[in-house]
């Protein structure tokens, strides 16, 4: 089901375009004014697609309760043979649980890493199978197949199917919305994007993250870059010193992380 906001704007711009086209044919209104709403709507779609917190196409969980002094840690793009175990060691050192949004195609090469994520009490979410930059343009059928395939791979190792889904690159579309909603996924965004995939140093990334922590934050990190381990430890030390609680994502959102089997 698409969001009511998207449906409203789509209907509004279609009606407005129809009215302006009628004025063009009957009054000689310039073409530019007749088609302007379509360009505006196109710009709105581009903004809504790339801005996950806009929830333009679908409901997306981007933040917990802002009044609570707590955060949730999430990692994308694993499981990674080298980096994910280092991240797990750091989390274990501080007794913290996180959520790992895994890419399906990475699972067959790293089954033990995925099993370790689960066995050490962390949550596992679905981050698509292919994680290609054209994912938002795929058909509803293809998106559904990717999500189901990844869930089956996760379940084959952990015995559980994720109920949390994070779109690749945080890009959404009507097709992703329809596929995720039909499969019953809860789509997860973030309130703090670390940008640890850039060339920025661990110190700069840490500063960026810590400066945004207020309350109920969902932090996006990646367990595919070595420097992220340093960033993670800096975050954990800060939270320890500032009495910021780090909670599992399902607890923060009060939502089930896995599909309930009948």
Please confirm, yes or no, whether 76 is among the known catalytic residues.
yes
Distance CA 87, CA 160 (A): 22
Among residues 80, 122, 127, 222, the one annotated as catalytic is 222
Nearest to residue 185, comparing CAs of 138, 217, 147? 147
DSSP string over 221-234: EETT-THHHHHHHH
Among residues 76, 77, 196, 223, the one annotated as catalytic is 76
Distance CA 214, CA 224 (A): 26
Tokens 């998106």 label which residue?
143
Q: Which residues contact 123 (CB under 8 A, 6 or more apart)?
A: 97, 98, 99, 100, 162, 164, 248, 249, 250, 257
Tokens 């779109």 label which residue?
167
Please confirm, yes or no, whether 222 is among the known catalytic residues.
yes
- Determine contact, residues 220/76, Cβ cutoff 8 Å: yes
Nearest to residue 191, comparing CAs of 64, 56, 63, 51? 63
Q: Omega into 79 within 30° of 0, i.e. cis?
A: yes
Distance CA 190, CA 51 (A): 11
DSSP string over 138-163: S-HHHHHHHHHHHHHHHHHHHS--B-
Distance CA 201, CA 249 (A): 27
Show which residues are catalytic.
Answer: 76, 222
């Amino acid at each position: 089901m698409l969001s009511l906001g998207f449906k409203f704007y789509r209907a509004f711009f279609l009606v407005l375009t129809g009215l302006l086209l009628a004025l063009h044919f009957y009054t000689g209104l310039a073409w530019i004014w007749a088609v302007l709403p379509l360009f505006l709507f196109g710009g709105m779609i581009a903004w809504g697609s790339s801005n996950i917190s806009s929830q333009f196409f679908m409901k997306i969980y981007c933040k917990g309760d802002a009044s609570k002094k707590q955060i949730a840690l999430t990692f994308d793009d694993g499981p990674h043979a080298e980096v994910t175990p280092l991240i797990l060691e750091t989390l274990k050192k501080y007794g913290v649980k996180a959520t790992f949004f895994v890419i399906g195609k990475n699972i067959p090469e790293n089954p033990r890493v995925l099993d370790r994520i689960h066995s050490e009490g962390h949550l596992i979410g679905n981050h698509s199978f292919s994680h290609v930059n054209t994912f938002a343009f795929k058909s509803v059928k293809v998106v559904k197949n990717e999500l189901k395939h990844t869930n089956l791979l996760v379940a084959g190792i952990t015995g559980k199917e994720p109920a949390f889904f994070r779109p690749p690159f945080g890009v959404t579309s009507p097709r992703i919305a329809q596929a995720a909603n039909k499969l019953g996924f809860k789509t997860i965004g973030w309130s703090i994007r670390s940008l640890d995939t850039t060339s920025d140093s661990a110190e700069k990334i840490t500063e960026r993250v810590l400066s945004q922590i207020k309350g109920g934050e969902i932090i996006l990190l990646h367990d595919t870059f070595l420097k992220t381990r340093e960033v993670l430890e800096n975050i954990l030390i800060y939270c320890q010193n500032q009495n910021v609680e780090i909670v599992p994502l399902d607890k923060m959102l009060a939502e089930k992380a896995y599909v309930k089997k009948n």
